[in-house]
Amino acid sequence: MENRLYIAASPSTPEVDFRFDEGLLSLRGESYPENAAAFYGDILRQLRAYLAGESASTLQVHIALAYFNSSSTKMLFNLIEALAEAVEQGGRRVVLHWLYEEDDDTILEFGRELADDFPAIEFVLQPVGVV
C-alpha cells in the first residue's frame, strides 16, 4: 500500500486526502457525484485495508462537507460503519472531527445522528467559519 491516497476535489466530489503513515483521513468540499458508489468504492477498499493493519495507532478523520446528496449519505454511512467496526473489533481508536458551518443546522444534525449511531467512535462536532 502506498503512503497516501489523494483525490483532488471537483465541482461534485470532495477532496480526499488519506495519509496512511500519519493516520489522517480528510474529506472536504461537496459530494454529489453521478455515481457515489464508484467514487467512494476505492476509498472504502483502501480504508478497510488500512484498518486491517496495525491497530495500535489512532486514526484522525476530518469530514468537512458543505453539501452531500442521498447517495453520498449512504457511502458516508458505510465509511463510518467501517471505522466503528475497526474500533469494536480491533481496539483501534478513531477520532472523527465533523466540521460544519456555524449556521448549517442540517449538517450539524447529521453529525449528531452519526455520533448517536456510532458510539464507539469519538466524535468532535466542530463549527467552522467556512467549510
pLDDT tens across 69-95, in order? 999 999 999 999 999 999 998 778 999
Conformational region of residue 113, where left means phi above 0, alpha means psi within -120 to 50, and beta covers everything else: alpha
Which CATH number, 3.40.50.970, 3.90.870.10, 3.30.750.24, 3.40.50.300, labels domain 4-128?
3.30.750.24
pLDDT on residue 115: 97
All three cell numbers of 69, joined, read 446528496
**Is the model's pTM score more than 0.75?**
yes
pLDDT on residue 54: 72
- Would you call 103 helix, strand, or coil by DSSP? coil
What are the domain boundaries of the chain? 4-128
pLDDT on residue 1: 52
User: How far is the C-alpha of 131 from the C-alpha of 20, rounded, in Å?
Assistant: 23
The segments of the chain whose pLDDT lies below 50 read 131
